[in-house]
Structure 1
Amino acid sequence: MSTNITDDLDRMIDEALDAEERELLGAIGEEPGYFKQVWGVFGGPIGWISWLLMAAQLIMFGASIWMAMRFFAASDTLEALHWGIPSATLLILATMTKLTLWPTLQANRVIREVKRLELQVARGPKDK
């Protein structure tokens, strides 16, 4: 349902723009796809933080898998708990670490739209 409202709003905005503004906004391009947005998180001046988070996430995930294998190979309950609880904890932490990048994707989308608005404001009002 919200897609229809968004599509209607986009259509009304497009109708309000003159041909020159449409051409200028068309040159900016469409919103990039999901995977292009994800790779965009790893670039720029703070992209190294994203790389660091992903490296930590991979280490935690790998350790979680190793501990899970030890958990399933355990012969008694105490040994299973010894490996199972840290495995589950690391798996949860790895997932949470990966999820920290999603707000950055949303922030980048908002910044991109604000820049489009800035462009329209910078062009000033049209005398008609």
Structure 2
Amino acid sequence: MNDSIDEKIRAALRDSTDGDALAREPNLAQELITAFRGRNRFTNVMAFVMSIVSMAVFVWSVMRFYDAAVVRDQLVWGGVALFTLIFISFMKVWFWMEMHSNRVLREVKRVELLLLSKLQER
């Protein structure tokens, strides 16, 4: 057995066609929808809902910040706005990481299928 697994993977990827269904990449909306499927569906939906609620709290706290007459109230509402903005940022980063892990899994499955098809041809 003189062929290494790396050479087999390279050969399978080199011989793959772009017209193949596996070679198509989903767009951003399809990747986002894919994040709401699978075993982490409930967690992803709750995180998305919490992100939307946090956005509403952010807008409300910014409005209250500008309406506040006392500096202490401005600091409180500014802190709330800052906290919710950081929370929203963390949620967005978490969703991007979730979509990235789905993308990596899809590529690994693609390589497995290509390798399997090339091994069955022999």
TM-score by length of 2: 0.78
Q: Which protein, 1 or 2, shows the higher relative CO under an 8 Å CA cutoff with sep ≥ 6?
A: 2
C-alpha distance 121-93 of structure 1, shift in aligned 2 (>3 A): same
TM-score by length of 1: 0.75
C-alpha distance 120-102 of structure 1, shift in aligned 2 (>3 A): same
- Residue 118 of structure 2 corresponds to residue 89 of structure 1: no
Report the secondary structure of 1:100's partner residue: helix
After TM superposition, which residue ranges in structure 1, 4 or more long, deviate above 2 angstroms? Answer: 12-16
Shift of 1:37: 0.6
Report the secondary structure of 1:48's partner residue: helix
Does the aligned pair in 2 maintain the 1:60–1:93 contact within 8 Å?
yes
Q: For 1:16 and 1:100, locate their aligned partners in 2 and report how far apart those are by CA, in whole Å.
A: 33
Shift of 1:71: 0.5
Shift of 1:101: 0.9
Q: Structure 2: 5+ residue runs without aligned partners?
A: 1-9
Q: Structure 1: 5+ residue runs without aligned partners?
A: 1-11
Q: Where do 1:1-128 residues align within 5 Å?
A: 16-17=14-15, 22=17, 26-123=20-117, 124=119, 127=122
Identity rate, percent: 24
- Paired amino acid for 2:99: L
